[in-house]
Structures are given as C-alpha cells and as structure tokens.
C-alpha cells in the first residue's frame, strides 16, 4: 500500500503526538529568576545554576527518554535535578519546584568579511543640519504612519538538514517565536513543525500542533494496542469530529490547559473541506477517500484573565479491504485574551493570525530533502543512517537530483495549498487577497487598510487612513499591491 503524505506540507508529524526530550545545546537558559548555563560534551554536561545572585556548579547526563538528570553542588552537599527541553522551553525540576526557562537563540558567529563596507561619501558643506540622508543599501528610513502594520519574513531553519530554511511566514514586526522542526525517524510522517508565534504585548498566539498518520484494522490477525506503532502509523480507530479529536489526541499532552476549559462550540468547515478534498491523493484501489475540517472554540481562565482559543484540525481518511488509514494533515491553535470590555479579542486578532498561517511557505530545498528521506523510510533504508550528520551528508550529495525529482510535486503542493488558504481566508473573513508583484502569486493580509506595499526582501507594509509612501526617504524599493480578482 502506498505511503500517505499529509497535504499541508506532506510533513510535520510527531509520534504519539508529543515531542520527545531534545538534547539541549550549549548556552544560557533563563526564566522565573533562574539562570542555567550548560556546556555539552557528547551526552555529558557541565555548567552552573544561579538564583538570587548565588551560583552553583552542576553536572548532568542526557537520556533520550528522561532528558537531563544530574546534580548541583551547594558547599559540601549535592542536590538532584532533572531538565527537559521541549518546544524551546527547558523545564528544570528540583526539590519539588519547577522552573521554566527560555532556550537560548541560535548563536551563529558573525562573519566580518560577509558584507562589504559602504564606500565613504564626501561631506557636502552645503547640507543643512538635520538633512542627513540614508546610506546606500540602508533599509527604509521613513517611519510608517500611525495605524499601519509592518510584516516581516520569519524563516525557520532545520538543523537536521544542513540548517537549510524549512518554512517561512509573514509575522508582525516585534512578534516572537519559539520551537522549530522536530524529526522522528520511526514514524511514517518523519518531521513535525512544533512552533509558537506570539505577540509579546497581548499574548495572542499561533501554535502549530503535532500531527501523525494512523491505522485501524477492523479484524486484525493479532492484537493491536492503541497508540502502538504499526508500520510507522499509530494504531487508533478513526475520529471524525474535531472536538473528540482534540479531547483524545491533544488534551493529554499538547494542550493540557484545555482540560479545564469550557467548550463553547464546534463546527465543520465545508468550504475548506471542498478544497482540502481536491488536494488529497486518491485512495488505494477499491477504497474510498474522505476529509473532515473542523474548528472548536474554548474559553478558560489564565493568570486571572479570561482567554479564548480556537483549535483547527484537518483530517483525511482512506478506507478499503477492512482497513482505514487516516491522518491529521494540518492542525493549529489560535489563542488570545478577551478584551477588557468583555469583547472577543480572538475574533479581533483572527485575521492577523490567519495571515501568519496562510503565508507559510515550505522551501523547495527542504521539501526535496524531506521527500528523499521519506523514500529511504519506505525502502527500509533508515537503519544505519540515524545519525544526523551522516543523514545530512547523504541529503547534500543528492540535493540537486532530489530537487529536480520532486519539483513538480512541490509546485502542485503550493498551488493546492494556495487554494486551501484562500478558502480558509474567506471563512475567517477580515482578510484581503493581494497579488505580490515580485513573485506573481497571491498573499492574504489583514483587511481594513487603505494601501498594501511589499519590497523585494519580503517585507509587507499595510497603511491606514492618511496615506503613506514608504519610498520617500528610503533606498529600498516598495511596490503597491493590487487586490487579486
């Protein structure tokens, strides 16, 4: 039977719908008043832990199931601790107390020769004070008008494939992100995007949720335990309801805070289903294919404030000969606090969060590398190449071949996803579809602005009433975009 690949990016999955502990990189982790400095040597770690101005040495070892386990010294005494890195957060536990620390950002040394210095410009003695002009090659110098929105390009790189760009998004300037691509070579969906993109001012957030393929046999020839690994898929009967799927698959681990939440409503998204169905591969011979798209809204208290959360799931099913193979091919959550006046803060920010999800673009180099690894998995050649360094080298050696091999699949995937995104944007409302003159493709941005501009660096600027031309005082060319027909 042909292996299934989810339609979202044909990728992004995690076994058991929960990320395993990650091997913490060397660096400084801080949060909740605690600072942990780690220095890695293989699976062994040394470093320090600091609290209230006092610092203590530590030692630890990494275990693939438990994370870090070790001790820190206080005078002649030793105290045990554990530390688990998941989704960009290091959870440090000792003596019954838990600290959550932010992982350090990737620290890539700057190459001083990578950028040529700008040629010195002779001073003009007739220039008036305050008439300073932007240096050649400088970014836009003029400040956007009040009521405008600037979107920058966020690129997520994958250390598992030579640190190439895996996927990019448009995000509002100033928003933060944590997480990235997680690989798991024992399951049929080999890579999963575990990512949160957050507005630090309000807390509004998009979270990409774990995904996986599932198998269910009506009359199995041998006992099959739920959530066991059967030929790379998790064993579980099909779920055809968004609320039940979230309750069964996400509440135990990925979204535990929803266990205490109140479900407000659950709805199907038939318009999105129609586009999603067209993107799903044909069922095996003699079988049937179907899809389900749904949204569930929850309300809960967080830090003394009421919050709202929408969870979107997109499921596909292939049934035949007493067996069903089904997948969660796309899943994410939108969350935001309610407005001070009691209004829906989530409804207000949903168009902006939709812009983030709808502008996701998988890079062709990463896509080709991923599809090549999928082929290795299908051919049962993964044994012996689990080491990330060796796998990256193999992918590099075949990069151009795989790029050409999967070029058509990549183009078809993008066209299909664009149709799904537009249909989803029409459901959400509050978004406008524009044509990017640099790329010649559609992009969906929040509505309610008078003008939309884009530059060659992939930055977008939405301008409200009053008008604003970002080309004035700038050496970067901005082009006004037109709404798509």
With 0-12 CB in 10 A as exposed, 13-18 as middle and 19+ as buried, what is 343? exposed
Note whether 84 and 157 are same-domain residues: no
438 inside domain: no
Question: In the predicted model, is pLDDT for residue 437 greater than 70?
Answer: yes
Question: In the predicted model, is pLDDT for residue 180 greater than 80?
Answer: yes
279 inside domain: yes
Note whether 215 and 76 are same-domain residues: no
Residues 6 or more apart from 481 whose CB is under 8 A from it? 434, 435, 436, 437, 443, 452, 453, 454
Q: Are 205 and 335 in contact (CB under 8 A)?
A: yes
230's torsion region: left (phi>0), alpha (psi -120 to 50) or beta? beta
Confidence of residue 112 (pLDDT cuts 50, 70, 90): very low
Residue 347's alpha-carbon distances to 124, 198, 204, 217, 354, in angstroms, are 53, 16, 11, 41, 11
Domain stop point among 378, 398, 432: 378
Note whether 93 and 163 are same-domain residues: no
Element housing 86 (H / E): strand 77-86
pLDDT tens digit sequence for 454-476: 988 888 898 877 677 888 878 88
366 inside domain: yes
Domain stop point among 349, 378, 407: 378
Note whether 176 and 55 are same-domain residues: no
Question: In the predicted model, is pLDDT for residue 131 greater than 50?
Answer: no
- Residue 185's φ and ψ, nearest 5 degrees, are -80, 0
Closest CA to 189 of 234, 243, 252: 234
Question: What domain range is 38 assigned to?
Answer: 27-102
pLDDT tens digit sequence for 138-166: 344 344 555 789 999 999 998 888 788 99
Domain stop point among 79, 102, 125: 102
The SS3 of residue 353 is helix
Q: What is the mean pLDDT of the chain?
A: 77
Note whether 256 and 335 are same-domain residues: yes
Residues 363-391: what's their mean pLDDT? 65
- What is the per-residue pLDDT for 385? 47
Note whether 62 and 160 are same-domain residues: no
Confidence of residue 100 (pLDDT cuts 50, 70, 90): confident
Give CA–CA dist 477/453, Å, rounded: 10
pTM of the predicted protein model: 0.61
142 inside domain: no
- Residue 477's φ and ψ, nearest 5 degrees, are -80, 125
370 inside domain: yes
Closest CA to 203 of 334, 310, 20, 97: 334
425 inside domain: no
Note whether 165 and 293 are same-domain residues: yes
12 inside domain: no
285 inside domain: yes
Note whether 89 and 168 are same-domain residues: no
- Residue 325's φ and ψ, nearest 5 degrees, are -110, 125
Note whether 72 and 193 are same-domain residues: no
Residue 266's alpha-carbon distances to 212, 238, 306, 327, in angstroms, are 22, 18, 19, 20
Q: Are 258 and 251 in contact (CB under 8 A)?
A: yes
Note whether 180 and 326 are same-domain residues: yes
Confidence of residue 388 (pLDDT cuts 50, 70, 90): very low
Note whether 218 and 294 are same-domain residues: yes
Lowest mean pLDDT among 50-59, 213-222, 373-382: 373-382
Q: What angle do CA 412, 415, 419 make, to 5 degrees?
A: 135
> What angle, rounded to 10 degrees, do the helices at 364-378 and 388-397 form?
110
Note whether 175 and 49 are same-domain residues: no
Question: In the predicted model, is pLDDT for residue 99 greater than 90?
Answer: no
pLDDT > 70 fraction of the chain, expressed in percent and rounded: 72
| Domains: count for the chain | 2
- What is the per-residue pLDDT for 6? 42
Question: In the predicted model, is pLDDT for residue 121 greater than 80?
Answer: no
Q: Where are the alpha helices (DSSP H) in 290-449?
A: 345-358, 364-378, 388-397, 399-405, 407-428
């Amino acid at each position: 039977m042909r292996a299934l690949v989810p339609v979202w990016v044909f990728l992004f999955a995690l076994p058991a719908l929960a990320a395993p502990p990650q091997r913490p990189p060397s660096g400084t982790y801080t949060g909740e008043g605690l600072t942990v400095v780690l220095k890695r040597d293989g699976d062994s770690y040394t470093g320090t832990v600091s609290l209230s101005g006092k610092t203590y040495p530590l030692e630890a070892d990494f275990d693939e199931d438990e994370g870090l386990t070790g001790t820190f010294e206080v005078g002649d005494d030793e105290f045990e601790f554990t530390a688990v890195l998941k989704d960009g957060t290091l959870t440090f536990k000792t003596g019954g107390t838990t600290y959550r620390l932010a992982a350090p950002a990737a620290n890539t040394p700057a190459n001083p020769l990578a950028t040529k210095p700008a040629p010195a410009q002779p001073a003009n003695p007739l220039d008036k004070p305050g008439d300073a002009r932007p240096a050649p090659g400088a970014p836009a110098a003029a400040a956007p008008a009040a009521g405008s929105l600037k979107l920058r390009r966020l690129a997520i790189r994958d250390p598992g494939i030579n640190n190439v760009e895996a996927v990019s998004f448009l995000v509002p300037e100033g928003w933060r992100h944590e997480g990235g691509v997680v690989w798991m070579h024992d399951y049929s969906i080999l890579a999963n995007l575990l990512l949160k993109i957050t507005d630090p001012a309000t807390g509004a957030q998009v979270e990409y949720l774990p995904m996986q393929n599932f198998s269910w046999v009506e009359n199995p020839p041998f006992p099959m335990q739920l959530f066991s690994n059967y030929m790379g898929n998790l064993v579980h009967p099909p779920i055809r309801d968004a609320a039940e799927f979230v309750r069964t698959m996400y509440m135990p681990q990925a979204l535990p805070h929803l266990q205490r939440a109140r479900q407000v409503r659950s709805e199907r998204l038939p318009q999105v289903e129609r586009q999603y169905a067209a993107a799903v591969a044909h069922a095996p011979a003699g079988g049937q294919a179907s899809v389900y798209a749904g949204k569930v809204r929850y309300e809960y208290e967080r830090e003394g404030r009421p919050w709202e959360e929408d969870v979107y799931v997109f499921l596909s099913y292939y049934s035949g000969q007493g067996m069903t193979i089904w997948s969660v091919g796309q899943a994410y959550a939108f969350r935001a606090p309610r407005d001070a006046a009691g209004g829906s803060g989530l409804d207000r920010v949903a168009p902006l969060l939709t812009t983030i999800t709808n502008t996701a673009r998988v890079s062709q180099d990463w896509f080709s590398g991923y599809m090549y690894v999928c082929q290795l998995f299908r051919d049962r050649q993964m044994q012996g190449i689990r080491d990330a360094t060796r796998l990256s080298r193999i992918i590099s050696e075949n990069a151009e071949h795989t790029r050409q091999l999967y070029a058509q699949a990549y183009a078809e995937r993008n066209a299909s996803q664009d149709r799904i995104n537009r249909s989803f944007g029409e459901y959400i409302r509050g978004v406008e579809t524009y044509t990017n003159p640099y790329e010649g493709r559609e992009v969906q941005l929040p509505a309610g602005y008078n003008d939309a501009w884009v530059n060659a660096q992939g930055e977008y600027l939405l301008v409200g009433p009053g008008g604003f031309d970002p080309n004035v005082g700038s050496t970067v060319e901005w082009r006004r975009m037109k709404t798509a027909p």
